Amino acid sequence: MKTVLLFILFSFTAAQAQTLGEIMQMIDANPQLKTAEQKSKASKARYASQQSVNYPSLDAIYSANYLFDKPVVYLQLPSTGPQELQIQSQNQYDGALRLSYLLFSGFAAS
């Protein structure tokens, strides 16, 4: 890209004796060229972001819970005395993997 800009800058400038290094410094210091380069990078990033919808996504979820007190229920039966029943464990672990892919976007142009 710099070679094209160098050619354009060299062809439209006045016939002054400038070295190649000075011309390259002028190109690098030109704010309009810097702005155009940043706009080009932004549009490429925006395009890549829009294309990411076309790819599958993988999500991983994991959680762990620890209960300090044992979760119990007390039953009072007439034939026996009060009984303690544990209703769940003190440690709970949950995990999931989800793979999703957009099959139909409702005719949205992407």
Tokens for 3, please give them. Answer: 């070679």
The closest alpha carbon to 62, from 104, 94, 101, belongs to: 94
**108 in a domain, yes or no?**
no
Q: How many domains does the chain have?
A: 1
**110 in a domain, yes or no?**
no
Q: Which domain does 28 fall in, by range?
A: 2-100
Decide if 9 contacts 26 (C-beta within 8 A): yes
**82 in a domain, yes or no?**
yes
**109 in a domain, yes or no?**
no
What are the pLDDT digits (tens) for 20-31? 888 888 888 888
Coil, strand or helix: which one is 28? helix
**64 in a domain, yes or no?**
yes
**106 in a domain, yes or no?**
no
Whole-number pLDDT of residue 60: 97
Whole-number pLDDT of residue 74: 86
Decide if 91 contacts 71 (C-beta within 8 A): no
β-strand partners of 35: none
Tokens for 76, please give them. Answer: 């009072």
